[in-house]
Amino acid sequence: MKKLLLALPLLFSVNANAESIHSDLRTYGDVAQVAIPLTGFFVAWMKDDTEGMWQLGKTVVYTQAITEATKYVTDVTRPCGGERSFPSGHTSAAFSGAAFLDHRYGFKYGLPAYIAATGVAYSRVKANKHWNTDVIAGACLAYTVSYFVTSRYRDPNLTIAPVLIGKDAQGIKISYTF
């Protein structure tokens, strides 16, 4: 009986800590769904990439429009009992930014963003707001829209061209203007 009485405070502290982690995870999903696309916008802005900013805007708008239309048409019940679960809007928003960063600037930008976006998807499932299929569909939708809307960034200051050196030699000229 003494062991049980000693263990009760520990049990309640673990439960309180688990609730805190659950709440923090939910907050992360709410914040990161916006922060990831904003990061994509910031990267485009830092590169003075106006075309990239437009492409990100189109990616986000198209993805969210398709997400909301699909939610309305499918009307899947959420695990918590709420309406319109499929696909996950938080996940599709987060993956819009991640897929844009990957498609526009490459995997070195995309990988950290995909990891952060996966955290958003995880948070939605753990918060009992979405089924696994909802977050997978949201991620796939955002990736697909970005694939069709986003083109690879070409640095206007970088020139790579084939050159003929003399009569028999060939090479590549690489030039970067600051």
| The pLDDT value given to residue 71 | 95
Q: Is residue 1 helix, strand or coil?
A: coil
| The pLDDT value given to residue 17 | 53
Q: Look up the pTM and report it.
A: 0.78
Give the end-to-end CA distance of the chain in Å, rounded to a whole number.
Answer: 75
| The pLDDT value given to residue 35 | 96
| The pLDDT value given to residue 21 | 60
CB 173 within 8 A of CB 159: yes
Low-confidence ranges of the chain (pLDDT < 70): 1-22, 157, 159, 176-178
| The pLDDT value given to residue 169 | 73
The CATH number for 23's domain is: 1.20.144
Domain containing 105: what range?
2-176
Distances from the Cα of 97 to the Cα of 72, 84, 110, 140, 177, angstroms:
23, 23, 9, 13, 29
pLDDT tens figures, 58-110? 999 999 999 999 999 999 999 988 899 899 999 999 999 999 999 999 999 99
How many domains are contained in the chain? 1
